[in-house]
Structure 1
């Protein structure tokens, strides 16, 4: 009796080469987020240096949007958009890497702040509301938006599959229009703030930046599109490297100039100026676009000392934990400064920034090491699971 031929094995799709730029940008973005939150502490000084505020609060405004750019790039880089998406498996993996850490860190901050500020713990219904809007701590809303992006992944695949230069340009214009309306429309914002406090609609509109993915659709879709067309993107970066650099600096100058205009010509305070010259204003959107392309270009073609690569690697490797933990250190370092009688002057603020960054990175490295022996720590805090043998 002849042997039956064994069924042909399904072809295994090779993973694409690792792109260090993705990891390096994560680290830079994390540093930028810490700068924004350190700047918020510095703004409590009534005589704060507006130029240092420009560095901490304006120049770093690419940080949150570029996280979405990199997240989309990483998702689409090893994804075949022409094959059906295993949505269940996709969401299971993303919930393990994002949802579980989000819930763990939310509970951590609610318990910590409840004890530290003596405000107690929220009731169950309020707790669910906090989780939905991402308000347990000021940096956690990013994970809420990211979860919504994951939930809508089939939509992004469909958009990226059909995207081209013209459609991306139109999407960028639509993004400018929508973000301008959401941030600066007087009738809309008057309506929102005019709603009674007991209105069920008010929190859904007040916290719209915490969960409306539409505020960041363009930069997410762009990240996915460039990942799918990685070879064309690499050729573009190599060919137009100088133009990309000029575009980045021009966009930065535009956003910073807008900040100074608001202060010197319009008469805004520094706080009012940074709440206007942010990542969702037109200048901020161009700066986000320019930053995304610029950082990817310089980290791909190494136009900087290579001795920095190990540092950039560590910043990127521990960026997730450092991003999540840094408000904890901001709380205690601020208390230590107050008790020691030190004011948040410009020199103190610069040292303060590097102390927060250093403590956050140190805690991330230590917990990551401990997590190698106690896997549950890494699983719950950063969604990293032991590799299957």
Structure 2
């Protein structure tokens, strides 16, 4: 979603641009919007469970794959053989992530405070909201990303020493940790059993908003493949068929899990999507498969060339579209409610297209306006004028 920038403090020859990173960013933004539109559609008690699967299950790679491409972009132009300038790195990344995060958080707090007549939070509550990324439901991603940046020396250390065996061990630990965090009955009973005034409770309740441990493997994998780009390209070229089969098999596994929850275990659709998610074992493998699959097809481009300009625009404006789309969802949902329209399957599909269209249009217009008023791009997407 965010604009990629060089993180290398020592001048060196930049590597060739990889269109796959930009294209994946756009596809992932579309998936995130699908998840949030699905959250509107699922409120219809007669919602089609198969369309819910499209909105809420098939798109589940969308958030974790952002960590994959973020790490890939960071390590692709990073020389891991020279000393890492941590201070310079944080300065650059905070300008592209922390500033937009604070600006958009304040925007949504002010907007929602007026719209829902709840006012602006007091200073202590404001700090809590900003720490956990709770100003709006999509902003937690930036909080986790900031924590990843803060721990960058750790990831460099891990990527430098990573190999096939250590990556497999890390994957096993990742599956075990995510399963414990998501499905451990004793742990979750403990968390929900804490009194509301407990200081510990929000730190555990909102652990998905800032615990980078949930996504360490996919981040390190992205960094590892970027450092070993030549080997990765050879692997993609040699195993295109296998990567494609892995993608569809992992999707089938995740969907099978979703349908089992519905038809065998008697879960509601909401309970099912909250269980068959990206942190489940099936979801983790689906994320890995999607990362390899999309990188492969966008690298070797066995599809019509006319799609590339569209994918370019989706990727270029994905950061702003990601950040602004809840604003349009709010007013589109209010318009439907005012018109007395129910979110049926056809309406939800049209709703998705409208939200995507409005978000992209706003992103393009603001980006162009930001070329004349640089502060707009600096504050909203962390893009600064190129130094002459």
TM range (shorter): over 0.9
1:358 aligns to what? Answer: 357
2:34 aligns to what? Answer: 35
Q: CA deviation at 1:303?
A: 1.3
CA distance in 1, matches of 2:371, 2:198: 47
2:377 aligns to what? Answer: 378
2:146 aligns to what? Answer: 147
2:191 aligns to what? Answer: 192
1:276 aligns to what? Answer: 275
CA distance in 2, matches of 1:247, 1:306: 25
Q: CA deviation at 1:339?
A: 0.9
2:126 aligns to what? Answer: 127
CA distance in 2, matches of 1:139, 1:71: 17
- Show structure 1 runs of 5+ residues with no match: 1-10
1:12–1:144 CA distance, 2 compared to 1 (3 A) = closer
1:138 aligns to what? Answer: 137
1:221 aligns with 2:220: yes
Q: CA deviation at 1:342?
A: 1.1
> How many positions carry a matched residue from both structures?
379
CA distance in 2, matches of 1:41, 1:124: 31
Aligned ranges 1:67-106 → 2 under 5 Å: 67-106=66-105
Q: CA deviation at 1:167?
A: 0.4
C-alpha distance after superposition, 1:87-132 (max 9, x if no partner): 1100000110000000000000000000000001100011011000
2:182 aligns to what? Answer: 183
1:112 aligns to what? Answer: 111
2:3 aligns to what? Answer: none
Q: CA deviation at 1:345?
A: 0.1
Q: CA deviation at 1:188?
A: 0.2
Q: CA deviation at 1:67?
A: 0.3
Q: CA deviation at 1:340?
A: 1.1
Q: CA deviation at 1:12?
A: 4.5
Q: CA deviation at 1:13?
A: 1.3
Q: CA deviation at 1:306?
A: 1.0
- Show structure 2 runs of 5+ residues with no match: 1-9
C-alpha distance after superposition, 1:118-155 (max 9, x if no partner): 00110001101100000000000000000000000000
1:6 aligns to what? Answer: none
Aligned ranges 1:240-279 → 2 under 5 Å: 240-279=239-278
CA distance in 1, matches of 2:110, 2:12: 45
Aligned ranges 1:207-356 → 2 under 5 Å: 207-356=206-355
C-alpha distance after superposition, 1:298-346 (max 9, x if no partner): 0000011111000000000000000000000000000111111111000
> How large is the Cα RMSD of the aligned pairs?
0.6
C-alpha distance after superposition, 1:249-292 (max 9, x if no partner): 00000001110000000000000000000000000000000000
Tell me, what secondary structure is at the counterpart of 2:97?
A: helix
CA distance in 2, matches of 1:212, 1:64: 14
Tell me, what secondary structure is at the counterpart of 1:344?
A: coil
Runs of 4 or more off by more than 3 Å in structure 1?
Answer: none
1:169 aligns with 2:168: yes
1:369 aligns with 2:363: no
Q: CA deviation at 1:382?
A: 0.1
2:23 aligns to what? Answer: 24
Q: CA deviation at 1:75?
A: 0.2
Tell me, what secondary structure is at the counterpart of 1:305?
A: coil
So what's the TM-score if we normalise by structure 1? Answer: 0.97
Select the structure of larger CA radius of gyration: 1
CA distance in 2, matches of 1:71, 1:330: 26
So what's the TM-score if we normalise by structure 2? Answer: 0.97
CA distance in 2, matches of 1:143, 1:95: 10
CA distance in 2, matches of 1:174, 1:81: 25
Tell me, what secondary structure is at the counterpart of 1:46?
A: coil
